[in-house]
């Protein structure tokens, strides 16, 4: 999570992310890692836990659709190291998330993406995601 936020915002001080992880990470919120197996052949695998060769991760949870009350899968985090991007890893993880959600009986999958994250927005658009609501903020001074 910290790497994602650092790429979008240059300021440091992301200690608050540990609270988010403590609050939401559980046996009911799966976390998948993608690891490089053989860099010479660009082979990748889904290991059972994070390793020093991890190049990407996907963290899923559960949310409730505020319009209809239906439970659905929610993507907390999708991250691919910059040097491994544009190789289909993010798309493969998103398709994995969709399969997991369908297997649970979910009828939709949701996520939040920063407006300035154009690469992620392009990926999500290409996979059929659409805007359902906008999260708006107003700084208070």
Q: Which CATH number is 31's domain given?
A: 3.40.630.30
Domain count, the chain: 1
Out of 29-38, 43-52, 63-72, the most confident range is: 63-72
Query: Which pLDDT belongs to residue 5?
Result: 64
Of 28-37, 38-47, 59-68, 83-92, the poorest mean pLDDT is in 38-47
Q: How far apart are CA 129 and CA 121, in angstroms?
A: 9
* Residue 78 forms part of a structural domain: yes
Token representation of residue 130: 């659409």
* Residue 140 forms part of a structural domain: no
Q: How far apart are CA 57 and CA 96, in angstroms?
A: 11
> In this model, does residue 125 exceed pLDDT 60?
yes
Token representation of residue 5: 């936020």
Which residue range(s) make up the domain with 12? 2-126
Please indicate whether residue 125 or residue 32 has the higher confidence score (pLDDT).
Answer: 125
Q: What is the mean pLDDT of the chain?
A: 82
* Residue 141 forms part of a structural domain: no
Cβ neighbours of 74 (radius 10 Å): 21
* Residue 138 forms part of a structural domain: no
* Residue 24 forms part of a structural domain: yes
Model's pTM, two decimal places?
0.73
* Residue 132 forms part of a structural domain: no
Nearby residues of 82 by Cβ (< 8 Å), 6 or more positions away: 7
């Amino acid at each position: 999570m910290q790497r994602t936020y650092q790429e979008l915002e240059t300021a440091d001080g992301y200690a608050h992310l540990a609270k988010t992880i403590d609050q939401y990470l559980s046996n009911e919120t799966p976390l998948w890692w993608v690891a490089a197996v053989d860099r010479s052949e660009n082979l990748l695998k889904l290991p059972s836990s994070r390793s020093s060769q991890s190049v990407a991760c996907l963290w899923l949870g559960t949310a409730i659709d505020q319009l209809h009350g239906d439970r659905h899968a929610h993507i907390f985090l999708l991250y691919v190291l910059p040097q491994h991007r544009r190789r289909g890893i993010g798309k493969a993880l998103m398709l994995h998330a969709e399969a997991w959600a369908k297997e649970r009986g979910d009828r939709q999958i949701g996520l939040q993406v920063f407006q300035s994250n154009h690469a992620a927005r392009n990926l999500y658009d290409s996979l059929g995601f659409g805007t359902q609501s906008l999260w708006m903020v107003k700084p208070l001074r």
